Amino acid sequence: MEFLWCLVVGVMTTCGVFLMLERHIVRFLFGMILISSAINLAIFVAGRLTRGNPPLIASDALLPAAGYANPVPQALILTAIVIGFGLLLFTLLLAYRAIKELGTADMDKMHNTEAGQ
Amino acid sequence: MNLFLLNILLAFGWMLLNGDYGSIDFTIGFLVGFFALLLTEPFRNKPNYGRKFWAALKLLAVFLYKLLTSSLQVVWDVITPTHLSHPAIIKVPLAVESDMEIMLLANLVSLTPGSLTLDVSADRRYLTVHAMFSQNEQSVIDDIKTTLERRILEVTRD
Amino acid sequence: MSSIIFRTSAHIVTVLMLVFSVYLLLRGHNNPGGGFIGGLIVVIAFALLMLAESPDYVRERLVYSPLAFAGFGVVLALLAGVLPLFFGQPFLTGLWLGKIGSPLLFDVGVYFAVLGSVLTILLNVEEELS
Amino acid sequence: MTDVMAFAINFAFAGLLASLALAFIRLCKGPSLADRVIALDLIAFISIGFIGVFTIYSNATAFMDIAITLALVAFLSTIAFARFIMRVSLSRADSSGEKS
Amino acid sequence: MTQWPLVLPVFIPLLTATACAFSFRSHKLSSVISWAGALANLCVALLLIQRVISQGLLVTAFGDWQAPFGIVFVADLLSASMVLITAIIGVAIVLYSTTDLRSKPFYAIYHSFIHVLLAGVMGSFLTGDIFNLYVFFEVMLITSFGLMVINANRQQVDGAVKYVVLNLISTMVFLLAIGLLYGATGTLNMADLNAKVALLPETTMMLIAGLFLFGFAIKASAFPVFSWLPASYHHLPSAIVALYAALLTKVGVYALIRVFTVVFDLVDSGYQPLLIIIAGLTMLTGVLGAASQFNIKRILSFHIISQIGYMLMGLAIYTPLAITGAIFYIIHHIIVKANLFLIGGFLQRRQGSDNLRELGGAYQSMPWLALLFLIPAFSLAGFPPLSGFWGKFLVIKASLQTDAYLLAATALFVSLMTIYSMTKIWAEAFWKPLPDNAAAPIALTRLENCLYIVPIVALAVITILIGLLAEPVYQLAETSAINLLNPERYINAVLGNMPEPGQISVLAAGESQP
Amino acid sequence: MQNRIPKLWLAFCVLLPLAIFLLVGASYKPPESLLRWSWIPSLGIDFSLRFDGLSILFASLISGVGFLVQLYAVAYMKPYKGRGAFHLYLTLFMLAMLGLVLADNLLLMFVFWELTTLTSYLLIGFNHEQEGSRKNALQAMLVTGSGGLALLAGLIMLGEMAGTYSISAIITQGAALSQHPWFTPSMLLILLGAGTKSAQFPFHFWLPGAMAAPTPVSAYLHSSTMVKAGVYLLARLLPVYGHSALWFPLLCGAGAFTALWCAIQAYRQTDLKLMLAFSTNVILGQLVMLIGIGSSYAVTAALLLIAAHSFYKAGLFMVVGNIDKATGTREYHELAGLRAVLAISFTAALVTAASKAGLPPSFGFLSKEYLYKAGLEFGWLLSATMLLANAIMVALALLIVIKPFLRPHHDKAAAMKAVEHNQLLWLPPIILALLSVIVPVALLNWYQGLVIDPAAKVMLATAQVKTVKLWTGINLPLLLSAATLLLGIVLYVVYPRLKPWLDRVMSKLPSGPAVYQQLLDAVVKLASWQTRLLQHGQLTQYSLQFFLVLLAFLGTVLWQLFPLPPIDWDLKYYDIILALFLVIATFAVVKAPTLLTAVAALGTIGFLTTLVFLVYSAPDVAKTQLLVETLIVVFIAIVLRHLSAANTVPRHSALRRLVHAGVAVGIGISISLALWIITAAPLNQEISEFYAQNSVSGGKGRNIVNVILVDFRAFDTLGEIVVVVIAALATVAVLAGKRINNMVADREHS
Amino acid sequence: MMDWVVASCLIAGVLFSFFSALGILRMPDAYIRMHSSTKAGTIGIGLIMVAAALHFQDISVTSRAVGIIAFLLMTAPVAAQLLGKSLLMNKYKMWRGHD
Ligand code: NA
Ligand code: NA
């Protein structure tokens, strides 16, 4: 079943990259959200998929039920999601400020800094 | 007093959620609920609540019945090839006054057949309702006022 | 947004969410949940309240600046980390007193850090943009 | 798992996924933002239902919490969208910031 | 008690940052806290390197979960010396910021961010876990975003957009690479990865290594993925750009060095020829970029890229001598580049501009500053016996030894162009008389002057010391390089009493345990 | 300001060279001695000094002439600003020069070599408020600097070949090194270094340019010190590279051509200082030629010429400096009748010019005799060239003496003022003039024993050094000397007619500075072009560039992936449908007509990924993903509310979008394949096993993921909350920034 | 026996959900689509939750199911009301039937 999700990751990445190359800064952000999701999914898939057996230990057991899902990628993704969330919020509001300050949402029109080089 | 009751209810809700029933859990739940209430301070203009359990249960029963029938009515309209409805936007005058009552009525109106609350007027005098089967506007208004509003008032007023 | 219906239900829903968040935080060690999820639910609760009322109303309810909560959270987490060092154990080693342990303290730190931070962003966004 | 349960669960999955598909079409078709938001709201509902069914299917009760969480947040996002639509109407700028 | 000196380099800055943020109402209080934190950190860094020199590699496993299960901090000579240099820069920048940023509304937050950034940098240097490295990279990244936008004007916002957009690409690729690496090996500990990566099929290994190389190359601002740096650095406040210039790209290079020695073997990964080309082009494009600029900060920004090329060159050649050179170069460059930006910032503060066309007369008005400028400038240009010469000498010698003549020639040409740039700044800002249309210099108070000059002097003295006492620094770099190329010691120290690497690999190849 | 220089500092600067002169002299025990301190032993770099004939010759010239120049500068620089620094630079330069000639370690020598470049830069640009000075200083820096870099490479190669950087040790290896493949390359590189420093054609032009410096600098750098560093290096390495077949033709060719070419250039000059500068080039050419010849005679001639030139050229520069001081000009046709005010300088000029012209019994005569002797061993061509060059020297010597001093003063000539009341202005040149005569007449034996014999031995193991005599009877060299004199007089006489013709011819030839400037401009132009190309400011193009590189990284490996592993079709229908929905929603984001629609689609993706995480047993991730995605959607909705419709952005051209699509698809496929290949192999679950086993016992928790987050890998989580908190602060900053900027702007307005 | 009850609850719930989705697709205007999603959706999910509660018969699941239902009853109409209000403010043109 990993194969299917490899494909989905590929599609999400493709669309994410495509959006990240667009001129509208908000659409860039959408691309970034897509790629973040794709990468989280990729990490998840890379840790192998297990159906319906979360890595929880029953209150009367010392070990999880056999065939439990790999908890490591889950923990990694959690950290990555949170970090990505912080980065994304910042980027979103930076984009807002840039649009307000520079008067355009077009990333290619934002070149005050490199003028005169 | 009502806040205290609500707090106790929250504590029980806490125990329910935890699936643990002990004095420690109750205390924790109570404290958590206490702080939650402290933070949000709901029902600032609280009316004098009566404990009208019976009225409330009746309200609930009526409501569930209406919900089911209304759903079936909608489903029927959905699955039949033609659109049966005669929609209209209707202003329903209100007898209820407090925030809580208005909310309750508005939500119940939304969840019952053929009507959907769209707005409350700024002076709280009437609800704006979208009615799906409004061949006769007055019957829609009467239906809301007699079945829902009356029963709500039974619950909330002494 | 000044709808009576929304405001009234938002108050109720917020209370429920706050309770739910603490519940998720405390049981997170044994069941799905934990500081981060709990913290985010607090944020959603206050987001509702903010949408129903106003950012100022939320700030008033919170008493302290949300950033202070965030700082408090970081300090708690750092404290949970550094505590074992005084017992000659490595940074962030779990110290347990019955059911209460430094990892839980750490998780509470996460809870506060997250709710403080995201609330800060939320309130600032609402205030600065309007 | 009994046959009847297996059937019910399979039926549930299929039905919910079909519902999802329908909601999807509305999401893509629009035409107004409100229509899309309604679709999104319903997708959240269907997802809650899916989680319920999946909980029964997998016997992992831990998943029920996700349903609650989903219910909580779906409400918030719908409200945020509603607010957006209101604001747009207030400022009378047609489809502001929407053209890409 | 080995844990303390390993943890404190991250712990102190984080605590200091929190304290600074809480004391935002009083500039004085936050300054004092910031100074205290920076100095305490310097002491810890000194203690750490002393420990490492006397006891060898230090390892602490957080939560007492041994590697490869938990996260470890490892201080080998390289890490410890990088931490020390970072702590030195920290003190210098904090002092300088006290006056340079004093009038800014977010003064305390600046200090807070500076400390978090230092924590991120030191964490990156110390960590022995690849995912933890990612986390520290993110700490650095978000902090650098923050520092970039505090009190930002139009240009800064514009630069910040580019910086953020392009760095996010790097971050994402880095994360993806870690995910794939975990999927392929089942571990995240760098020491543990060493053996497990060796068992991977070659193509898998190359794919993952390529992703790491790409991600770190952006961080290090290597050709052709350096555009974010010249687009964003030059409008930043001087203290901040000095901090960035000194540390951020170097962490990228450090990560490249660490990952492509301990985790992947650069030669085995197949990327050595490519890296050689990248190194050469990085040097060349960077220095040419500088030659076309007329603002001090822009010139210096492009020179960061160019000098990164030298460091990459050291890594690319991949002999002990070359890596020694790279490490020597990193140490030298951190000090020197920070100092140049500090001096540029001082000129800008006095003159209100860093455009060479609007500057002049500094030789007359501030002869001592002129002298102080000469030291880092000609060190950067690779004049002996200043620190930059030895780094240059080592990498060129290494490239000649490996018959990489074109690379050596490029490095020499780049060195010449660096001389050109440095003399350009010198001639225009110091020698040239002040243009008639230029504004009169701002008079600074004695204390302000002092706070500006003390860090500059200190860094200049360190530059001279590194140059004159090159032997111990060389020893340090050489030992580090040898240990990097023979990571067994590192691996054994980290994995402790784990089974032999061979046994782990058997486990890796076989079925997972029940 | 300028008069406030502490006397003590001046005294120190003057006396230091004298002290060094005496110390060096006293510590010298022929034939050679060595001092060694450890510096960077790991790199084979010692601080080792070598005292032998060659180094002692240079060291004593550097310190001796240095003393006189410092003395002269005390007087000369009096009106200059910042002359304290001038003396500092001069002293530092001298120390660097001393280090260069005394070093017994190639790299130590290089250290000093570069220090002379640096300090000479400061000296040449001393009059830095004039643009010309700055430009010429840079020119000298870049030309000698580039040579220095070549030299570094050459020295490293030489050190590698020999296995040591110790000069003594390398010299003893001598011929053995010539078998090494690096022998010739390293020689060429070193020659490049020496050639630039010693201003050999085509690098000769920086030296006249360096005349922008105050005259004491010229008297020092361009007579006895810096320009001779290259000569010194060649002499030092003669035992190593003399074995090369290229050595003789290269050095003789370059040297002879430089001598002739620069002689003609010198002949054309009207500025006395420039005239001297070009004639310095001539001597340097001759010295290089002599070392290239490398015979006993040649070595002897070189050792004589080095000293002779130092004396007379330093003296002449000082004389010209005095002329400049007295009249404010150095153009000879504006000068006349200077004998009246510069009587002592005239005497010095007379003697030093005689030495320059090679009149017996001056030092110049002696060195020229030996030059001819050495040249004659190798046929007429070299000798004829030298004869022509020397004849021009004679003409110039005549010119320098006759035009300013012996012509009667006339109206058109520049006004003069008396300057010789300051003894320090005439004392040093007269001492140098005296030395030019005394050494050949009285101290020749002493010079031979102390310098020529040991130095020749060092340079040439086989040297058969004859006793140097002023008078060796009437022989061919003497006749050539006479011919030189005659020709020189002729050239002086025809000078007025020859010069215009020469100017016409030469102006058609490319000039050194012009070529240098064109080269520099070309590099700067290339730099600007490249920077415009790479740093164009178009953000999406940068992104495209980055992604293209990523694609290149992935794509090159991709071809090697085949054959691919088999596909494991263990799928449920809801897997496929979920995946399908996810894909559709993803496309919906891309195709969405409005931003808000895209946000709605993103929200859907959030719900769907939640379901995916749910289905594959990750409840914590599902919850977090859900919360985060929802909050993101909420935040975007809030932000979009406040962006106006004015922000419509045109899309890229269709072609560009096609390229984007291509890149995106390429990257997507690569990542899919990579992930597939990785997941097709079994995973080592060692670590998750460990976590599962220790979760309850060690972590006291039953949610393994949470135990990882707060215990096993809590450190990551600590970093993560730091990121979130900083993100919050940064967001506050980015949002408040505009308001604060406006506030500040308002405050400044009011 | 319980299986049958659970199964019928499930199927009924899913049917309600499906019709609600069909409704938002088929209905002529946004107001009527909201009727469909709010009512049918709520009851559909409610029934599925009842099924879950009955299936597990476990206090923690039941409490959650009840919580979800209560929460939906409380929020769904509010969300619909706000959306409706926004439509009103936008002067959204209502579908008026066939006549
Ligand atoms: Na119908
Ligand atoms: Na209704």
Say which of C20, C33, C47 has its CB closest to residue D76. C47
- What integer pLDDT is reported at residue D93 of this predicted model? 41
Burial B51-74 (b: 16+ CB within 10 A, else e): ebeebeeebeeebeebbeebbbbb
Q: Which residue has the tokens 């002897």?
A: F300
- What integer pLDDT is reported at residue F414 of this predicted model? 83
What is the mean predicted confidence (pLDDT) over F127-145?
93
Q: Which ligand sits nearest to residue B132's alpha carbon?
A: 2
Q: What percent of chain A has pLDDT over 90?
A: 74
Torsion angle (degrees, nearest 10) of CA E321, E322, E328, E332: 150
Burial-class residue E353 by CB neighbours within 10 Å (0-12, 13-18, 19+). middle
Partners of residue A64 in chain E, C-beta under 8 Å: none
Distance between Cα G45 and ligand 2 center (Å)? 17
Angle between helices E272-291 and E202-220 (to 10 degrees): 20
- What integer pLDDT is reported at residue C2 of this predicted model? 62
Instruction: Determine the 3-state secondary structure of F45 from DSSP.
Output: strand
- What integer pLDDT is reported at residue F665 of this predicted model? 97
- What integer pLDDT is reported at residue E2 of this predicted model? 63
- What integer pLDDT is reported at residue D28 of this predicted model? 83
Q: Which residue has the tokens 């050094």?
A: F465
* 3 state SS for F248-261: HHHHHHHHHHHHHH
pTM, two decimal places: 0.93
Does some domain include residue E72? Answer: no
Q: What is the pLDDT of residues E3-41, one digit of tens each?
A: 788 999 999 999 999 999 999 889 999 999 999 999 999
Q: Is the dihedral of CA E419, E425, E427, E431 positive or negative?
A: negative
Could you give the CA distance from residue F501 to residue F499 in angstroms, rounded to a whole number? 5
Ligand 2 ion: residues within 5 Å (CB): B 112, 115
In sequence order, the 6+-apart residues with CB closer than 8 A to the CB of E60 are: C90, C91, E2, E3, E6, E7, E72, E73
- Residue contact C129–A59, C-beta within 8 A: no
Q: For chain C, first and last CA: distance in Å?
A: 14
CA distance A27 to chain F (A): 8
Q: Which ligand sits nearest to residue G76's alpha carbon?
A: 2
DSSP summary character for residue A64: P
Q: How confident is the model at residue C65 (pLDDT cuts 50, 70, 90)?
A: very high
Could you give the CA distance from residue F632 to residue E439 in angstroms, rounded to a whole number? 48
Lowest mean pLDDT among C83-92, E172-181, F66-75: C83-92
- Select from F582, F621, F626, F588 the least CA-distant residue to F605: F582
Q: Which ligand sits nearest to residue B84's alpha carbon?
A: 1
- What integer pLDDT is reported at residue C73 of this predicted model? 96
- Select from E366, E383, E329, E514 the least CA-distant residue to E441: E366
State both tokens at B103: 């909310």
pLDDT exceeds 80 at position F741? no
Partners of residue D72 in chain C, C-beta under 8 Å: 13, 17, 20, 41, 44
Q: Which ligand sits nearest to residue B83's alpha carbon?
A: 1
pLDDT exceeds 80 at position C69? yes
CB < 8 Å from D in window 38-67 of G:
41-42, 44-45, 48-49, 51-52, 55-56, 58, 60-61, 64-65, 67
Lowest mean pLDDT among D84-93, F486-495, F648-657: D84-93
What is the mean predicted confidence (pLDDT) over E133-140?
97
CA distance E207 to chain A (A): 14
Q: How confident is the model at residue E112 (pLDDT cuts 50, 70, 90)?
A: very high
Lowest mean pLDDT among A7-21, E302-316, G77-91: G77-91
What is the mean predicted confidence (pLDDT) over A32-44?
96
Given a contact cutoff of 8 angstroms between Cβ atoms, the answer to whether F725 and A77 are in contact is no
Does some domain include residue E146? Answer: no
- What integer pLDDT is reported at residue D91 of this predicted model? 56
Q: How confident is the model at residue D89 (pLDDT cuts 50, 70, 90)?
A: low
CA distance F25 to chain E (A): 27
Size of interface D-G (CB pairs under 8 A): 174
For chain C, list the contacting chains (3+ Cβ pairs, <8 Å): A, B, D, E, F, G
Q: Which of 1.10.287.3510, 3.40.50.1980, 3.20.20.30, 3.40.50.300 would CATH assign to domain A2-50+70-106?
A: 1.10.287.3510
Q: What is the pLDDT of residues B2-19, one digit of tens each?
A: 566 677 677 767 766 665
pLDDT exceeds 80 at position E155? yes
What is the mean predicted confidence (pLDDT) over F691-707?
92
pLDDT exceeds 60 at position E514? no
| Residues shown for chain F | 750
- What integer pLDDT is reported at residue G98 of this predicted model? 58
Given a contact cutoff of 8 angstroms between Cβ atoms, the answer to whether F715 and E131 are in contact is no
- Per-state percent for chain C, helix, strand, coil, to nearest 5: 75, 5, 20
- What integer pLDDT is reported at residue E508 of this predicted model? 36
Q: What is the pLDDT of residues E448-474, one digit of tens each?
A: 999 999 999 999 999 999 999 999 999
How far from G76 is each of C78, E16, G42, CA to CA, in Å? Answer: 41, 47, 7
Q: How confident is the model at residue E92 (pLDDT cuts 50, 70, 90)?
A: very high
Q: How confident is the model at residue F659 (pLDDT cuts 50, 70, 90)?
A: very high
Q: Which domain holds residue C118?
A: 4-129
pLDDT exceeds 70 at position E329? yes
Domain count, chain E: 1
In sequence order, the 6+-apart residues with CB closer than 8 A to the CB of E102 are: E27
Average pLDDT in chain A? 91
Q: What is the pLDDT of residues F401-410, one digit of tens each?
A: 998 998 888 8
What is the mean predicted confidence (pLDDT) over B60-84?
78
Distance between Cα B74 and ligand 1 center (Å)? 8
Higher-pLDDT residue of E356, B52 = E356
Distance between Cα G15 and ligand 1 center (Å)? 16
- What integer pLDDT is reported at residue D97 of this predicted model? 38
State both tokens at C92: 């962030």
Beta bridge partners, F51, equal: F33
- What integer pLDDT is reported at residue D88 of this predicted model? 67
Q: What is the pLDDT of residues B108-137, one digit of tens each?
A: 888 876 788 888 888 888 888 888 776 778
State both tokens at E59: 């390892």
Q: What is the pLDDT of residues F213-235, one digit of tens each?
A: 999 999 998 887 888 999 999 99
Lowest mean pLDDT among F123-132, F310-319, F566-575: F566-575
pLDDT exceeds 60 at position B21? no
What is the mean predicted confidence (pLDDT) over F496-524?
89
In sequence order, the 6+-apart residues with CB closer than 8 A to the CB of C29 are: C103, C104, C107, F700, F701, F702, F703, F706, F707, F710
Task: State how beta strands C96-97 and B126-131 pair.
Answer: unpaired
What is the mean predicted confidence (pLDDT) over E362-368?
90
What is the mean predicted confidence (pLDDT) over E412-439?
93
Q: Does ipTM surpass 0.90 in this model?
A: yes
pLDDT exceeds 90 at position F30? no
Does some domain include residue E34? Answer: no
Distance between Cα B76 and ligand 1 center (Å)? 6
Average pLDDT in chain F? 90
When mean pLDDT is compared over F261-275, F402-416, F471-485, F714-728, the highest value belongs to F714-728
- Residue contact A3–F568, C-beta within 8 A: yes
- Residue contact C19–B29, C-beta within 8 A: yes
- Backbone torsions φ then ψ of F549, nearest 5 degrees: -65, -45
Q: How confident is the model at residue E408 (pLDDT cuts 50, 70, 90)?
A: very high
Could you give the CA distance from residue D60 to residue A69 in angstroms, rounded to a whole number? 13
Could you give the CA distance from residue F282 to residue F198 in angstroms, rounded to a whole number? 11
Q: What is the pLDDT of residues D11-49, one digit of tens each?
A: 999 999 999 899 989 988 878 888 888 998 998 899 899
Q: What is the pLDDT of residues F278-296, one digit of tens each?
A: 999 999 999 999 999 989 8
- What integer pLDDT is reported at residue E104 of this predicted model? 84
- What integer pLDDT is reported at residue F1 of this predicted model? 42
Given a contact cutoff of 8 angstroms between Cβ atoms, the answer to whether E337 and E246 are in contact is yes
Question: Domain locations in chain A?
Answer: 2-50+70-106
> Which residue in chain A has the smallest CA separation from D58?
A52
Q: List the domains of chain D with CATH numbers.
A: 3-99 (1.10.287)
- What integer pLDDT is reported at residue C31 of this predicted model? 86
pLDDT exceeds 70 at position E242? yes
- What integer pLDDT is reported at residue E437 of this predicted model? 83
Distance between Cα B132 and ligand 2 center (Å)? 9
Q: What percent of chain F has pLDDT over 90?
A: 63
Q: What is the pLDDT of residues E255-300, one digit of tens each?
A: 999 999 999 999 999 999 999 999 999 999 999 999 999 999 999 9
Q: What percent of chain D has pLDDT over 90?
A: 28
Q: What is the pLDDT of residues F143-167, one digit of tens each?
A: 999 999 999 999 999 999 999 999 9
Q: How confident is the model at residue B23 (pLDDT cuts 50, 70, 90)?
A: low
Lowest mean pLDDT among E255-259, E322-326, E400-404, E433-437: E433-437
Average pLDDT in chain E? 92
Distance between Cα B83 and ligand 1 center (Å)? 4
- Residue contact G75–C1, C-beta within 8 A: no
Q: What is the pLDDT of residues A63-116, one digit of tens each?
A: 998 999 999 999 999 999 999 999 999 999 999 999 988 888 899 888 766 654
Task: Report the run of H or E that residue B129 belongs to, with start and end.
Answer: strand B126-131
Average pLDDT in chain B? 75
pLDDT exceeds 80 at position F241? yes
Given a contact cutoff of 8 angstroms between Cβ atoms, the answer to whether E6 and E73 are in contact is yes
- What integer pLDDT is reported at residue B149 of this predicted model? 85
Given a contact cutoff of 8 angstroms between Cβ atoms, the answer to whether C28 and C107 are in contact is yes
CA distance C93 to chain E (A): 3
Instruction: Determine the 3-state secondary structure of G48 from DSSP.
Output: helix
CB < 8 Å from D in window 553-582 of F:
573-574, 577-578, 581
Q: How confident is the model at residue B42 (pLDDT cuts 50, 70, 90)?
A: low
CB < 8 Å from F in window 7-26 of A:
7-24, 26
